[in-house]
């Protein structure tokens, strides 16, 4: 009798939601409510004099508040309860970045001195910036992966490399090719464009060339940053949104969110352009993940893009 009552309280839901454990939503709501209280405590506000890691504290607060209210309302309505899962993950994502913000403002991480010897003075500075602004993403990453594990197999598992031998018609409907071939062509086209732009700029002829000390920071930045974003957006949010909104719209929703986080504060035109480009890339990466069954293909393509962008920036600054 007590066991049956316990199960009814913790796992109460209707059949349409596939028995989503209510205690997960309750735990997420409590954790984020506590975070909103912390954001408004005097000791946290005193840290606001330091530069922001990602966002100002009040923006975290308003973001958590809006998501919290939406999640709470959905948890009370049987017809809306299916939206609790994606809202739970979005709350945990914002909470993870809030923790990163708190750690950064309280005690910014510093690099050991020998890293500067490995990469040189200029490369060490870039590596230090990478470490401070990217490694702290470990908090949202761990929280997101932990939450999907707590749900216990409810969503498709994309947190693996995937099968690159799977054929796709995404580039040519009449002649499907394996994703490994698509990946190879993607890399060749990308760096061919980079080479053409470099030749047209004609700047390398009058300079000493690219500083090789920057290769290590760029590689580390690309590998880690792309791993985090692919794990969060394609490894976690893609299956969650897919289960709630269907495969097509689920992929589109995660792609739009991926585009939104890449908005540039420089200008409206730049923001719109970046959002369109990264939304398309997010959609394309999502297709790769769904077809190969893992984030490996999208991660490699993402890494290649970041390396190409960083190399282009370096070449343009010569």
Q: What is the average pLDDT value for the chain, to the nearest integer?
A: 82
What is the per-residue pLDDT across 2-17, written as a single tens digit (0 to 9) for each?
444 334 433 334 444 4
Sole residue written with tokens 């792309």 = 226
Calculate the alpha carbon distances from 135 to 90, 130, 132, 298 in Å. Answer: 20, 7, 6, 20
What is the per-residue pLDDT across 27-42, written as a single tens digit (0 to 9) for each?
999 999 998 888 888 8
Cβ–Cβ < 8 Å for 262, 278: yes
Average pLDDT estimate for 46-63: 78
What is the per-residue pLDDT across 186-211, written as a single tens digit (0 to 9) for each?
999 988 888 887 777 655 445 555 66
Angle ∠(84,19,17) on CA atoms, nearest 5 = 55
Residue 232 CA to chain centroid, in angstroms?
4
pLDDT on residue 130? 67
Average pLDDT estimate for 259-270: 81
Average pLDDT estimate for 67-78: 94
Average pLDDT estimate for 85-114: 84
**DSSP-assigned beta bridge partners for residue 177:** 168
Q: How far apart are CA 205 and CA 299, in angstroms?
A: 33
Cβ–Cβ < 8 Å for 233, 254: yes
Residue 109 binned pLDDT confidence (cut-offs 50, 70, 90): low
Average pLDDT estimate for 105-113: 69
Residue 25 binned pLDDT confidence (cut-offs 50, 70, 90): very high
pLDDT on residue 3? 43
pLDDT on residue 167? 92
Which of 141-155, 186-200, 237-251, 272-286 has the least mean pLDDT? 186-200
Average pLDDT estimate for 296-306: 94
The residue among 176, 175, 159, 158 whose CA lies nearest residue 167 is 176
Residue 43 pLDDT exceeds 80: no
Average pLDDT estimate for 285-307: 95
pTM of the model: 0.85
What is the per-residue pLDDT across 135-193, written as a single tens digit (0 to 9) for each?
888 999 999 999 999 998 889 889 999 999 999 988 778 888 999 999 999 999 988 88
């Amino acid at each position: 009798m007590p066991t049956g009552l316990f199960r009814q309280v913790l796992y109460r839901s209707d059949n349409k939601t596939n028995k989503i454990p209510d205690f997960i939503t309750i735990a997420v709501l409590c954790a984020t409510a506590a975070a909103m209280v912390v954001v408004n405590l005097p000791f946290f506000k005193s840290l606001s004099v330091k530069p922001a890691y990602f966002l100002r504290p009040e923006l975290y607060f308003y973001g958590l508040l809006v998501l919290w209210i939406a999640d709470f309302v959905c948890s009370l309505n049987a017809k809306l309860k299916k939206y609790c899962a994606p809202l739970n993950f979005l709350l945990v994502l914002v909470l993870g970045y809030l923790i990163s913000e708190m750690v950064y403002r309280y005690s910014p991480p510093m690099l050991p001195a020998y890293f500067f010897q490995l990469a040189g003075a200029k490369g060490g500075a870039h590596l230090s910036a990478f470490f401070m602004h990217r490694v702290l993403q470990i908090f949202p990453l761990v929280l997101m992966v932990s939450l999907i594990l707590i749900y216990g197999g409810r969503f498709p598992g994309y947190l693996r490399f995937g099968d690159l031998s799977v054929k796709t018609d995404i580039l040519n409907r009449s002649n499907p090719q394996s994703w490994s071939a698509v990946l190879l062509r993607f890399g060749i086209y990308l760096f061919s464009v980079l080479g053409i732009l470099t030749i047209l700029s004609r700047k390398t002829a009058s300079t000493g060339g690219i500083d090789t000390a920057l290769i290590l920071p760029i590689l580390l930045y690309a590998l880690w940053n792309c791993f985090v974003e692919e794990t969060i957006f394609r490894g976690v949010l893609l299956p969650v949104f897919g289960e709630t909104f269907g495969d097509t719209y689920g992929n589109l929703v995660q792609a739009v969110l991926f585009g939104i986080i890449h908005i540039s504060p420089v200008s409206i035109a730049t923001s719109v352009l970046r959002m369109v480009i990264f939304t398309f890339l997010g959609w394309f990466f999502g297709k790769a993940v769904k077809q190969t069954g893992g984030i490996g293909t999208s991660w490699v393509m993402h890494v290649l893009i970041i390396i190409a962008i960083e190399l282009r920036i370096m070449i343009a600054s010569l």
